[in-house]
Structure 1
């Protein structure tokens, strides 16, 4: 799929991987709706960066865990640009809880992580799918994590939520075939704001990786765009982790 002229929605597009993929999509000729929930200033900065380079973008607020807001967001994007061709389900949250500290895992943590990381991706896919079906083609990439493969990560609920994202990806690929392709990119550790205050831990991890350094948000963005472009790819979980899961 040629990304030139396509209309893309990127959730959590104001920071980290979301910003990197928004910028790269615009660089490749797509128009980008930059979704945010709380990071309004960062989303507007992403839009300014795109526009300063001659691209088309606008910021749009929606809490992806709230389906009415997701529906309204999809309708706004489609009204502005006529359709939605591409969806990058990037919005996610985590909690930093030791994996063996089961007593510290609250119902609130489960509800928040599954509400945003899993149900939010489903709501966005369901809202975008009718526009893609109407034109007979579309592509979705969900941002998973190697935590969903290895079972370890920032917390047990986070790892389980990302395993659910991978399952959701495969199920949506079957449900939306043959016209809509659905894949997931599963990053390892990536230096984003989630690691603020844990930079030393990141440095120690980098030294143990096969490639000697962690992936950047731009590395993940390139793989997301490749998955959007590749017409023969659906239902796949693609790891980009510098060898972390080996």
Structure 2
């Protein structure tokens, strides 16, 4: 689609990222679909095909957000393909399930690994895309955080802390990039088909899903498409919103006490 706005989505081979790519394409945007390594390529190709079927022009781009050069290459590839970049949705994330009470099970290496993707990776992607986003008449960044970063809960302390840092980074970037670029975050609760589905076996995933359903006041968990719909609204329909961390957790935070 010539002259359509363009969104680059990190982590868009699966889960929330894939849903975001499809949502933006369905809404008339062109999309840069990214994937980490050959293991994700087939999934990314399927997402790209769905986006193309929706009428979007699509760039399929390898991306490792922990590698600054890879972030720069992804941003430049999007600009070369589309000559513009209007939104960046940071969905790439990582975690491992480590009980919070088992302090000995969580070492510095896991903290650094988690922060490298969930915090530093976001910073590197925003930095790589900032120039193009400034040139857009309505540049926007949407960071996919987690309610764990608000409540200090979640798959591990390292994960919760990284998402808390991402929330703070969102506020800092919103100040730094204003007024040309808006920066916001979404803090979902448990998302069926999200990151836990890729790090847990089926039995443990089902157990966590049941527990999260019972813990939320709405007695449900979210789907990736719900997060994607909110991401699109923030990027395309909320010109007065910046520096917000929006909780999308089915009321899980209401039972946190």
Equivalent residue for 2:213, pick from 191, 206, 212: 206
What pairs up with 1:60-209 in 2 under 5 angstroms?
A: 60-192=61-193, 194-195=196-197, 196=200, 197=202, 198-209=205-216
> More deviation in 127-136 or 62-71?
127-136
CA distance in 2, matches of 1:205, 1:78: 40
CA distance in 2, matches of 1:49, 1:13: 12
TM-score, normalised to structure 1's length? 0.95
Equivalent in the alignment of 2:248: 240
Equivalent in the alignment of 1:227: 234
Structure 2 unaligned segments of length 5 or more: list them.
Answer: none
Give the length in aligned residue pairs. Answer: 243
Instruction: Judge conservation of contact 2:25–2:56 (CA < 8 Å) in 1.
Output: yes
Report the Cα offset of residue 201 of structure 1: 2.3
Q: What secondary structure is seen at the aligned counterpart in 2 of 1:116?
A: helix
CA distance in 2, matches of 1:154, 1:108: 16
Report the Cα offset of residue 136 of structure 1: 4.5
TM-score, normalised to structure 2's length? 0.91
Structure 1 unaligned segments of length 5 or more: list them.
Answer: none
CA distance in 2, matches of 1:30, 1:5: 6
Q: What secondary structure is seen at the aligned counterpart in 2 of 1:25?
A: helix
Q: What secondary structure is seen at the aligned counterpart in 2 of 1:154?
A: coil
CA distance in 1, matches of 2:73, 2:35: 14
Report the Cα offset of residue 55 of structure 1: 2.1
CA distance in 2, matches of 1:150, 1:180: 28
> More deviation in 27-36 or 99-108?
99-108
CA distance in 2, matches of 1:31, 1:149: 33
What root-mean-square deviation, in Å, do the aligned CA atoms of Structure 1 and Structure 2 show? 1.3
Report the Cα offset of residue 135 of structure 1: 3.7
